[in-house]
């Protein structure tokens, strides 16, 4: 119990530090300047830290205690690369939605809210599912390499072996349909209404929500299995 309380306090303190960085004018301006000059590095760091914190919080909810999973840092790198990808695609989809509206391929040209919604909807129905695939396979690759190093996995780490391990039912029904359409589309619509320098950071904060959603779903599945 004491260990969990200390973990809770450390996690909350780390989150508070991020909030203070954004609230205090000096650190906020410095943060914006650095991430504007080095957008991909900024995207990597934001997701490496905040998305990993989301994973840790999800694990806390699921298991009732704080745990550092095997490959913790490498899985953080997987999140960091996703942060770099998101840094690029936010610009691509927002500019694409604006271009489609300006050329008459989408309605409501001139509406800021419409640009944000179309950019979010198109992104989450195209890039979103593939991002989930990348994250799933990135995490799985780390797990398989660790298993092989420990002698628990015989043979090579192959794409076929990874595909067989994926829970496609959960990936499609939860990650693609529920999360991409019902959660991330409205959330990213709001994110796209923010100033550009805050969008990737806001998305990184949302990854904490993702950790909670995944953990809550797994916890509900466990209860169903016990009840059955």
Q: Helices 25-37 and 2-23 meet at what angle, rounded to 10? A: 80
**Over residues 42-55, mean pLDDT:** 91
Ranking 73-77, 104-108, 212-216 by mean pLDDT, the lowest is 212-216
Give the pLDDT band of residue 84 (cuts 50, 70, 90): very high
137: CB partners within 8 A, 6+ apart: 162, 166
Give per-residue pLDDT as tens, 19-40: 898 889 999 899 889 999 999 9
66 occurs within a structural domain? yes
Percent of the chain predicted with pLDDT > 90: 55
Segments forming the whole domain that contains residue 189 = 39-227
Torsion over CA: 189, 127, 71, 152 (sign): positive
pLDDT at position 222: 52
180 occurs within a structural domain? yes
pLDDT at position 219: 58
- Whether the per-residue pLDDT at 215 is higher than 50: the answer is yes
**Over residues 184-213, mean pLDDT:** 88
Report yes or no: 50 and 208 within 8 Å, Cβ to Cβ: yes
- Give the C-alpha distances (Å, rounded to integers) separating 177 from 136, 173, 174, 181, 203: 16, 5, 6, 6, 19
pLDDT at position 225: 44
pLDDT at position 57: 87
pLDDT at position 58: 84
**Which tops the pLDDT comparison, 225 or 203?**
203
Query: What does pTM read for this prediction?
Result: 0.90
Q: Please compute, for residue 88, the number of CA atoms within 13 A of its CA located in the half-sphere on the CB side.
A: 9
Report yes or no: 48 and 80 within 8 Å, Cβ to Cβ: yes
**Which tops the pLDDT comparison, 67 or 188?**
188
131 occurs within a structural domain? yes
pLDDT at position 204: 86
6 occurs within a structural domain? no
Q: What is the mean pLDDT of the chain?
A: 89
For residues 228 and 58, give the distance between their C-alpha atoms in angstroms, rounded to a whole number: 24
Total number of domains constituting the chain? 1
Give the pLDDT band of residue 140 (cuts 50, 70, 90): very high
Percent of the chain predicted with pLDDT > 70: 93
127 occurs within a structural domain? yes
223 occurs within a structural domain? yes
Q: What does 173-187 look like in DSSP terms, one character per residue?
A: IIIIIIIIIIIIHHH
- Whether the per-residue pLDDT at 117 is higher than 90: the answer is yes
- Terminal CA-CA length for the chain: 30
pLDDT at position 218: 62
Q: Where are the beta strands (DSSP E) in the chain?
A: none
Report yes or no: 85 and 165 within 8 Å, Cβ to Cβ: no
pLDDT at position 227: 52
């Amino acid at each position: 119990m004491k260990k969990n309380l200390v973990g809770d306090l450390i996690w909350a303190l780390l989150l508070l530090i991020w909030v203070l960085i954004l609230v205090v004018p000096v650190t906020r301006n410095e943060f914006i300047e650095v991430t504007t000059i080095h957008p991909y590095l900024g995207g990597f760091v934001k997701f490496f830290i905040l998305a990993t914190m989301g994973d840790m919080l999800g694990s806390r909810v699921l298991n009732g205690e704080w745990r550092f999973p095997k490959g913790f840092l490498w899985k953080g790198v997987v999140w960091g690369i996703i942060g770099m990808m998101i840094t690029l695609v936010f610009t691509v989809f927002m500019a694409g939605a604006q271009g489609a509206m300006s050329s008459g391929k989408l309605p409501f040209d001139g509406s800021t809210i419409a640009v944000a919604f179309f950019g979010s909807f198109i992104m989450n129905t195209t890039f979103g599912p593939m991002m989930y695939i990348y994250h799933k396979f990135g995490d799985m690759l780390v797990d398989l390499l660790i298993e092989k190093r420990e002698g628990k996995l015989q043979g090579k780490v192959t794409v076929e072996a990874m595909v067989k391990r994926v829970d496609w039912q959960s990936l499609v029904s939860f990650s693609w349909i529920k999360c991409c359409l019902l959660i991330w589309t409205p959330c990213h619509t709001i994110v796209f209404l923010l100033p550009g320098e805050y969008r990737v950071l806001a998305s990184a904060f949302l990854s904490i929500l993702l950790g909670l959603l995944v953990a809550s779903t797994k916890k509900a599945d466990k209860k169903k299995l016990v009840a059955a």
